Structure 1
Amino acid sequence: MGRQPNLLAFPGVDALASTLRTYILHAQTAGLNRHEAFKVAVSGGSLPKTLAKALLAPAISDDDKIKFDKWEIFFADERAVPLDHEDSNFGLLKAELLDKIPAELGQPKVHPINTEFLNDVQELADQYEKLLIERFATRDSVRLPIFDLLLLGCGPDGHTCSLFPGHELLRETDSWVAPIEDSPKPPPKRITLTLPVVTHGVKIAFVATGGGKKDIMKQIFEGDGGLPCALVNEGGQERVTWFTDTPAVEGVSFPRRGNL
């Protein structure tokens, strides 16, 4: 495989969720060993439901425990809407996962957007970047925040976070967090981590399931590399792992395996 991304395909969501849990546990252990915290960025879409299936399963041993009280959760992208709005990634994660975490597992520290700035997405992005600077660069100045794990989705057009195909934001190299006011997918106003931040994660995981993804997966893994998901593959290389089901990779000839 060399320095290529890892593409894992599973017969169903149960096997996918089980292996995703093991992968997240490994990332959690590494993060806690590095800095006694586990810093995670999460996207929305169908991902929170899969995460809940993976993370809320009962632990089978001490090594299998999710230590939510050590987690810091950030958002890989967010929509400029109130936190209880149906389009809010925070609201989705809260409903699917956060509200269901048993008390004995502890509660993660969650960093939503500052809703005071919903009418000014540049300021909204600036405020979230200030939060990242505070959480990642308190001891010394760092060029980029390095997440222990980014958990991402893949849109039917090959977008991830709120980085869309052909959009000028794909060329952003200075900002950690950028505003977008013309998202091709509603709602139009959002903020997103930029490509350099995404590709510098210690581990980067995509979850993509269903036969509706097979055409775009073929383009991501066999195309010319311009799609946002393909750019993450290119920048993250072997630090990227795709968790897919069999229908999502039907006809994709990229080397893939059934487990870690």
Structure 2
Amino acid sequence: MILSVNELAFTYPSHSVLQEINFSICKGKFLAVLGVNGAGKSTLLKCINRVLKPCAGAVFIQNDEIGKLSQREIAKRIGYVAQRQESVCMTVYDAVLLGRKPYIQWEASKKDLEITHKALKMLELEEYSLRYLNELSGGEQQKVVIARALAQEPNLLLLDEPTSSLDLKNQLEVVRIIKRVVRNQQIGAVVSMHDLNLAIRFADKFLLLKNGEVFAAGGLEVMTPENIESVYSISVKVKEIDGIPVVVPV
């Protein structure tokens, strides 16, 4: 088991966000976290990564409790891609090399440089390595931050709405890359998503949040019209087109 979340709860001073969250994920699996705006998806990812401290419950990565690990050790095990990225003036290569920060003592080693190059190659970014981030499209920038997370050599990827500002082609490309990397590297991924069709097509497992609680969790069997209607307050049908499941609002 790569990740196990047990009885997790989080409360802001003004209101409760998450209550009694339980789920786990094995290596090689892609879990989609689904729910309406304000359901607690981003907060959940931040609690897993210890950006936010839960008020109850525990998170375990490879049987080690996150709360007992240093920030450096967490960064070695978890690659986190936030929903919004700061715009900085640096090259693609340097941005990906930043993923090696938890490992670098005085200066980048030959191994750090090799892993950076491998991450660039994995995301097909080699030809962009000397370009500046502000010269890239939204899809290219998103690949860079994923490459940086992979340069950490994590056991787990946490991605907060990685396709939210991308066009259709780049949405498909980014999610395909995530799926391929998770399978080939045998790591886990927890991805908050708004697009149900991307989720149902590519994810292995699903966590449906409603009012800060787990409404349903499991495989494709939980992605029923009834569950989706209960969570999103809209009637849908789930159809197959050329073997691909599709959620259609009605």
Give TM class, smaller chain: 0.3 to 0.5
Q: Which has the larger radius of gyration?
A: 2
Q: Which one has the bigger strand percentage?
A: 2
Q: TM-score, normalised by structure 1?
A: 0.39
Q: TM-score, normalised by structure 2?
A: 0.41
